[in-house]
Amino acid sequence: MVACEQGYLCDVCGKDVEAITESDLYLRYILGEVSPLALPTLRERHIRCNPATAQYIVDPAFEPVRCEGMFAKEQMDVAYVAEQEARVTRAWRRLQEVPKLGIPLTEYPLPEVRAAWQRHT
Name the site residues for Zn ion (rule: CB under 5 A). Answer: 10, 12-13, 46, 49
Nearer to Zn ion, 52 or 76 (CB): 52
Q: How far is the CB of 45 from Zn ion (least distance, A)?
A: 6
Position with the least CB separation from Zn ion: 10
- Say if CB 10 and CB 46 are below 8 A apart: yes
Beta bridge partners of 5: none
DSSP 43: P
Cα separation values, 27 from 22, 36, 48, Å: 8, 12, 11
Q: How far is the CB of 51 from Zn ion (least distance, A)?
A: 11
Cα separation values, 113 from 30, 34, 55, 106, 110, Å: 8, 11, 21, 10, 5
For the beta carbon of residue 111, count every other beta carbon within 10 angstroms.
Answer: 10
Q: How far is the CB of 17 from Zn ion (least distance, A)?
A: 7
Nearer to Zn ion, 16 or 117 (CB): 16
Nearer to Zn ion, 24 or 30 (CB): 24
Nearer to Zn ion, 42 or 81 (CB): 42
Q: How far is the CB of 81 from Zn ion (least distance, A)?
A: 24
